[in-house]
Amino acid sequence: MAAATPEFKVIGTRPVRPDGIEKVNGRARYGADYSFPDMLHGKVLRSPHAHAIIKSIKVDQALKLPGVRAIITSADLPPAPNRKMAVGEVAANPRDISWNILARHKVLYDGHAVAAVAATSPHIAEQALELIEVEYEVLPPVMTAEQAMAPGAPILHEDLGKEGEPPTNVAGRVQFTRGDLEVGFKSADVIVEREFRAATVHQGYIEPHNAVAIYNSDGNGTIYTSTQAPFDVRRLTSLILGMPLGKIRVVPAEIGGGFGGKTTIYLEPLALLLSQRTGQPVKMVMTRGEVLRASGPTSGGVMKVRMGATSEGKLTAAKIWIAYEAGAFQGSPVGPAAMCAIAPYDVPNFLIEAYDVVVNRPKVNAYRAPGATNSEFAAECVIDELAERCGLDPIEFRLRNAVKQGVRAAYGPTFGPVGFIEVCQALRDSPHYRAPLEGANRGRGVAFGFWFNVGLQSSATVNLNPDGSASVVTGSVDIGGSRASSAMIAAEVLGLRAEDVHAVVADTDSIGYTDLTAGSRVTFATGLAIYEAAHDAVRQLKERAARVWELKPEDVDYRDGAVVSRNNGVAPLTLKELVEKYGATGQPIVGRASVNARGAGPSFSGCLVDVEVDPETGKSQILRCTIAQDAGRAIHPSYVEGQMQGGAAQGLGWALNEEYCYDEQGRLRNTGFLDYRMPTCLDLPMIEPIIIEVPNPNHPLGIRGVGEASIVPPVAATANAIYRAAGVRITELPISPPRLLAALLARSAA
């Protein structure tokens, strides 16, 4: 449970989710729910090859099909800027995004878009795709980081690499180092060295990518889409199509899941360009197969970890080598992977190297704490093995090395107040950890995780209504309950009930610039903008009351939803009473704020997992799972718990079943949820959350982000539990029944 917050009246309570009713009764409008008169339907032709030169594209026959209104290829897109820029939580290049939206010269993965059709019905558009003739020269694919980095590997991009050197598939390198590795390992009594592999996995959002676009004759365009980043959709679409940014309006629909995967663009420029060509609205919706083949999953890769510790359980050195698969274009989350790998621990000597490698897979996108889950899976398994060899309880070992305030993080800055020790202690003292684990083939594992969180830019307005209620308007798409937290923060400042504040997510023309919903930033950064906008409204209320009472504004206080005179003893005026006097005393009151939030507090998490392994099939069943996390301040504890449980559930699926399966030609074979195995309610127990609150001193409400750290430790915790249940340590994800059974049979044979 969250700690008591007596200083707050609204924050820390659990009001009903304001958008819940519409989502339950089906009236909420998701991206594909938008329809307009005379609307066309768009479909995308995708490559059947993982790597091939496009020799020609012929669309003549498809254009003759009755009902077809337009066909576009990459030749219809202007050149996009060739420069690196931040897009969501990962780096990207507008040129690469353009080439990903419609392939130029070469296709680089199975499912790469080649052409797009607009027709009077989806079925006619699909028929037209079959009539488009594409001549390919098939090339050998490179599917893994190791293949792509090997000498003589096929090259994806001839212009990738340092000037004056041969082209390469290695797009970038990140390094963090401190101390003296040689000295660190010489002082170690125990050294563990292992190599780990992780498969490509998808975020698994239920709603597929979609876009409905309307290009008007005045040169203005509107896009309705399911996105975490409406302002990035506007900016990127402007760059890809060469349209003035101010002529594009993006309306974010309700979003059926994103988890980082809806932070870039795929269909939006295609729908808008097709609408421009036809003069009609165009709707485009991916199938599930298209989502898996051609939208951004997270990186697979290789991690090599060597760590040393004294017999007393103090870490002395760590050497970590990481190679992540970026997909067809550069920009894997190797930076965060390197930053997070050993972030929970105070290691005096270390070297972390991480490589961004292009391969013939779809360009990766963020997935909840992008990069951290795989790198910390490797590090946490090695730390668990070190604890065992030192004869220490795994949590005690971590406590002996835990970072705390004043310790310099592995990636550079010095930690302020952080809650890692409290998270460790909460798991150690939990009923789960204290409960005996009885029965054969059962094991308990623990692991910990980290995410640094971000701030970035947000805008908010707070409008006071004549009936004493308020509305709060932001540009942050609501994925995990941010409408509720937005209303609660405004209500806390205004002295209202949460139910008296209506939270609105605005389009890009209706609110100031706001960065994406990702990075665990919304409650922190947009919450700060709301807090300041509400205080701006309070300032205006005090000025208005001063006019009514003929006082100076500094002689007026605002408490519990009412203005109070400090000196002359007049009766307080409630917000409703004061608002009724608007017309006589001035203009309507609208509080405004825009922030570039700094000081995002890092978040630590810990996960405890019990498993039972069937030695005859290799199947692992999760028996119990507890997740603990430092939230800084839990604005709405139920939604914090939901974020923690959701991240843990995804991490457990990542650990046991989820992976992209490609054949030798680089074709994805599991293109639906029947074969891409995400856990269901039948696979998981009720996940037990423990909220820790170590307030972030850089936020007036103590908020830290909570959306990401919870996905990091379940993978390693599950691997550690399986080791204790089965007696074999699996270092490749997922730990699926065939992989675990093979390890059990190999042990028996040995």
Angle among Cα 518, 523, 524 to the nearest 5 degrees reads: 90
Task: Specify the pLDDT at position 583.
Answer: 67
CA distance 544 to 537: 10
Q: Would the pLDDT of 64 be above 80?
A: yes
CA-based nearest residue to 688, from 435, 399, 444, 430: 430
CA distance 323 to 243: 37
* CB distance 243 to 221 below 8 Å: yes
> In the β-sheet with 442-451, what is the strand arrangement from edge to edge?
442-451, 603-613, 620-630, 687-692
In the numeric block, which tokens belong to residue 739?
A: 């992989």
* CB distance 730 to 452 below 8 Å: no
Do 301-453+601-749 and 20-27+455-597 have the same topology in CATH?
Answer: yes
Q: Would the pLDDT of 4 be above 50?
A: no
Burial 244-266 (b: 16+ CB within 10 A, else e): eeeebbbbbbbbbbbbbbbbbbb
CA-based nearest residue to 679, from 708, 719, 650, 720: 650
- How is residue 600 annotated by DSSP? P
- How is residue 616 annotated by DSSP? T
Task: Specify the pLDDT at position 86.
Answer: 79
CA distance 207 to 28: 13
Element spanning 40, H or E:
strand 40-46
Pairing status of strand 90-92 against strand 68-73: unpaired
pTM of the model: 0.97
pLDDT digit string (tens) for 173-232? 999 999 999 999 999 999 999 999 999 999 999 999 999 999 999 999 999 999 999 999
| Lowest-pLDDT choice from 129-143, 251-265, 549-563, 635-649 | 549-563
Percentage with pLDDT > 90 across the chain? 93
**Half-sphere exposure for 419 (CA within 13 Å, toward CB):** 31
The arithmetic mean of pLDDT across residues 641-658, rounded, is 98
The arithmetic mean of pLDDT across residues 492-521, rounded, is 97
CA distance 672 to 290: 9
In the numeric block, which tokens belong to residue 572?
A: 């307080």
The arithmetic mean of pLDDT across residues 489-506, rounded, is 97
In the numeric block, which tokens belong to residue 137?
A: 């020269």
pLDDT digit string (tens) for 606-615? 999 999 999 9
Which residues share a beta bridge with 573? 563
Alpha helices in 164-229 (DSSP H): 181-186
Per-residue pLDDT band at 92 (split at 50, 70, 90):
confident
* CB distance 357 to 321 below 8 Å: no
Which residue type sits at 646? G
Which CATH code for domain 34-139+206-257+262-294? 3.90.1170.50
Task: Specify the pLDDT at position 89.
Answer: 65
Which residue type sits at 29? R
The arithmetic mean of pLDDT across residues 478-505, rounded, is 97
pLDDT digit string (tens) for 434-484? 999 999 999 999 999 999 999 999 999 999 998 999 999 999 999 989 999
Three-state DSSP string of 676-738: CCCCCCCCCCCEEEEEECCCCCCCCCCCCCCCCHHHCHHHHHHHHHHHHHHCCCCCECCCCHH
* CB distance 72 to 62 below 8 Å: no
CATH architecture of 20-27+455-597: 2-Layer Sandwich (3.30)
Pairing status of strand 687-692 against strand 620-630: parallel
Domain 301-453+601-749 is found in CATH 3.30.365.10:
yes
Q: Would the pLDDT of 585 be above 80?
A: no
Longest dimension (CA), the chain: 92
- Domain boundary assignment for the chain: 20-27+455-597, 34-139+206-257+262-294, 301-453+601-749
